[in-house]
Amino acid sequence: MKKILISGATGFLGSYLVKEFNEKGFYVKATGRNVKKGEKIQNKNVEFIQCDIQNEDECIEKFKDIDYVIHAAALSNPWGDYDEFYRTNVVGTKNIIKVCKENNVKRLIHISSPSIYTDSRDRFDIKEEEAPKKNNYNNYIKTKLLAEKEVKKANNLGMYTVIIRPRGIFGIGDTSIVPRILELNKTTGIPLVREGEQIIDITHVKNVVSAIKLSLIKEDISGEIFNITNDSPIKFKEVINILSRGLDIKIKYKKLNLKTVYFISIILEGVYKIFKIKKEPLLTKYKACTILFSQTLDIKNAKVKLGYKPIVSIEEGIEEYAKWRKENYDK
């Protein structure tokens, strides 16, 4: 039986990966921050291993007898102390790479983030090679770029690696995108700039899992980097409309001016940094960029070299989420 280590296994994407590879006949060694959730996912072929990936010795000691690794663990908050991000996202990645070397792992799949493309302008069909060497919008982005650098370095030294950059993951169990939109709708209203005409890319979690599976089995892709989306760029307001129809809710918008929003984000970040306030500002430059500007990714590389094709459409995914939420969450 093939053995696979999945880091970040108690997170949104990680939990789907554990389920998928368990069903595909792998022996799954799972690790993640949420111990209670980790204990619940255990069965005869899923072993939860409590481990601090920031600790090299602990990783080497606990992660043994592994054929493949999917490294999905990360500190992904949009605000926080640089050292915390560095320890998890960079040191943690270095330690996972060391685990791969110790176990002569056949393949390392590293889950990165398209947040590294963040910019204060519209960008369309961004290719993998257009990633900047540096991006200072937040510490998450800075350290994800550094983590990618470590994976590329390992690949240059002979390790079989693949980097995945999935955009805007959503689906049942999502704790970020859709819940935040719904919370804003209940409180301040959903920010609306440019009449909601910004074009965005989002990706159903099952499509991301499909891309990762392909990355594990396709030949001759060592060193490749793949953008992953639903391959269906969509207007921001249309996403909200689909969600509104699925949940039978009335949408409350808060119309905002583009320049004003970005200016406020700069001021807020500056104030928080000057006074060393740890709490996340209501608005950051990164958040402003995600709601103000269009951004779409080119996934031709994944379609050609992986044979990747989305299996769940945006409409199907949002409707599925809405049905689940009404049945289980909004009772």
Q: Residues 254-289: pLDDT tens digits?
A: 999 999 999 999 999 999 999 999 999 989 999 999
What b/e string do you get for 129-140 counting C-beta neighbours within 10 Å, with b at 16 or more? eebeeebebbbb
Angle of CA points 209, 294, 214, to nearest 5°: 15
Q: Does residue 329 surpass a pLDDT of 80?
A: no
What mean pLDDT do residues 89-93 have? 98
Domain holding 135: CATH number? 3.40.50.720
| Through-space distance between the first and last CA atoms of the chain, rounded to whole angstroms | 42
Distance CA 294, CA 309 (A): 23
Q: Does residue 330 surpass a pLDDT of 70?
A: no
Phi-psi region of 27 (alpha: psi -120 to 50; beta: other; left: phi over 0): beta
Chain segment 98-109, per-residue pLDDT in tens: 999 999 999 999
Provide the number of structural domains found in the chain.
1
Task: Please state the pTM of the whole predicted model.
Answer: 0.96
In a domain, 165, yes or no: yes
pLDDT band at 3 (very low <50, low <70, confident <90, very high): very high
In a domain, 317, yes or no: no
In a domain, 255, yes or no: no
Distance CA 113, CA 218 (A): 21
In a domain, 290, yes or no: no
Q: Mean pLDDT across the chain, nearest whole number?
A: 96
**Would you state the pLDDT for residue 241?**
95
| Residue appearing with tokens 């493949």 | 68
Tokens at 3, concatenated? 């053995």
In a domain, 241, yes or no: no
Q: How many CA atoms lie within 13 A of 82 on its CB side?
A: 7
**Would you state the pLDDT for residue 328?**
83
Distance CA 26, CA 212 (A): 14
In a domain, 240, yes or no: no
* Domain enclosing residue 213, as ranges: 3-171+203-230+296-311
Length of the chain counted residue by residue: 331
Q: How many CA atoms lie within 13 A of 70 on its CB side?
A: 30
Other Cβ atoms within 10 Å of 196 Cβ, number: 18
Chain segment 109-140, per-residue pLDDT in tens: 999 999 999 999 999 999 999 999 999 999 99
